[in-house]
Amino acid sequence: MSFRVTDSYMSNILVGDLNSSLSRLLTQQRMAGNMRRVNSFADDPRSVSTIQRYNSLIANNDEYMKNVTRSRIMVDGTDVALQNISEVLADVRVISLRESSAISTEQSQETSVIEVENLVNQLMDVLNSSIEGNYLFAGQQVNTPPFELSGDTVVYQGDTNDIYSRTGPNSTMAVNIPGDIFLGTQSSALGGQVDMSPRLDGTTNLSDINLGDGWTPGSISISDGTGATYQVDLSAALTVDDVISTVNTATGGAITAGINSQETGFEFSGIGPLVVGEVNGGETASSLGINSSSTASLLTGRDIRISADATTLLADIDSISGSLPLGNMNVSWQGTDYVVDLSAATTLGDIQSIFNGAVPGMEMQIQNSTLTLVGGSPEIFAISNGDATNTSSVLGLAGTGSPVRLFGMLEDLKAALESGDKEGIRAGMSEMSAIEDTVYQLLMKNGGRQNDLDWSEGILLQRDERLRANLSLEYDADVAQVASDLSQAEASYQASLLVTSKLYSANLMQYLR
């Protein structure tokens, strides 16, 4: 039995083989052109869903990385703002120390009022800082300036909410600091108004004077009413007695040095007028508090006492020594009344440890040669005298402790400067110290966030690299395999063309022959 193969059937077979070879060639050329193994669902249906899942994970990871970048801008901006606040507070401290000292004058206090006003304006600018149109310290009310001046009072217009940023599949972090923290939401404080610096004596080390700032060794010039001028080299002096003996020896007793009657600094006596100055532009006389002149026969230097600390004896503190032994203090705190017996205290450290052990949740601190009470919450507390010794008043702690306030502290400082109230200026320094501690804690907290963002960025970069590597295994073509397959496809297509041309080479003229 014979079969007849028609020309039509042969044509269909040849054209089909030719198209199949051409399709394989085009597929390999497309893969070689974009180096993608999968260019359509038909290429590898099994891999398509895996590729889509990896693309989705990579897109999510990209969003996390964008969140980290945006969060870093806010956190870094907050760090700069906090640093600026810290610098402003340092300027406020300089003003407070200067105007609460013996060298303060009515004119200097008037000038300081203007300085404080300027610093308030600087703080307003800093706390109303914005990044990309979003206010840093407004909580979630990022479109509202957080601080506004209402009359003479600064009010907060933001909220207390944190702004959270998603920095990973299962991690979020707060990236802002609500400004209400500067208005007394963390703790309450009461600053003492009594100077606890001990009396100056001959054994006092010069490195400890000026509240611990020390002195500048060098020479001083002393002149008296006889026209005599003495240059005294004090560079070898170590103690107050060294200064006194060196001056007395250098002047031959014509000018006598000693400690003033208040035991706060030096004094010089001789034939007036007396003038003490620097030699060759030095700062020795100024650092010893004696860079001055007097028309009389007595020249009294400014206060250069050392800073009080836990080891300071109560008997060495002029404001306390006449009231020893101390008695009781009454403390009303968080709905409980406490009686603190300080009769056994002989040093400031004793007062501190006795109080801290007797009143839970409250801490006594020694700051700027005054005693300060700090509560662990913003609740108001009251301190009063417990007996006839008036101990609370003697220590400068009788009164009410209230939440620490940044702008409130500056308002009180300005009022004290305007009225010339040095005790009020000194009292505000304890609140300022509490605010400085708050800013320092915020800087550490914000620094921790910067470290967290660095860590998150590193993790996200590793995750992105891993996801793209896995995607490449499913999606990308193997270069060597593509080159081999493309070569085979070209050879197959050329062979199909050759066979087809041979089979269809017959024509009418050949048939007639």
Q: Return the exposure string of 467-495: e unless at least 16 CB atoms fall within 10 Å of the residue's CB, then b.
A: beebbeebbbbeeeebeebbeebeebbee
pTM above 0.75, yes or no: no
Q: Give the Å distances, CA to CA, from 42 to 45, 75, 244, 432.
A: 6, 48, 101, 73
- Contact yes or no for 279/288 (Cβ under 8 A): no
- Contact yes or no for 230/250 (Cβ under 8 A): yes
In angstroms, the CA 395 to CA 372 distance is: 10
Question: Which residue, 433, 333, 417, 422, is CA-closest to 383?
Answer: 333
| Sign of the Cα pseudo-torsion (204, 210, 215, 221, in order) | negative
Q: Identify the band that residue 3 occupies on the pLDDT scale cut at 50, 70 and 90.
A: low
DSSP 332-388: EETTEEEEEE-TT--BHHHHHHHHHHHSTTEEEEEETTEEEEEESSS--EEEEE-ST
Assigned CATH class of 55-186+427-461? mainly alpha
Residues in the chain: 513
- The terminus-to-terminus CA distance of the chain in angstroms comes to 30
- Contact yes or no for 404/186 (Cβ under 8 A): yes
- Give the model's pLDDT for residue 380: 82
In angstroms, the CA 85 to CA 411 distance is: 16
Mean pLDDT of 332-348: 94
- Give the model's pLDDT for residue 9: 63
- Give the model's pLDDT for residue 159: 82
For 186, the enclosing helix (H) or strand (E) is: none
User: Does the pLDDT value for residue 363 go beyond 70?
Assistant: yes
Q: Which amino acid is at 469?
A: A
Three-class SS of residue 327? coil
The structure tokens 């964008």 sit at: 66
- Most confident range (mean pLDDT) of 23-37, 123-137, 362-376 is 123-137
- Contact yes or no for 366/153 (Cβ under 8 A): no
In angstroms, the CA 260 to CA 47 distance is: 93
The residue with greater pLDDT, 189 or 445, is 445
- Give the model's pLDDT for residue 412: 83
Domain residue extents for the chain: 55-186+427-461, 206-300, 309-403
Q: What is the mean pLDDT of the chain?
A: 83
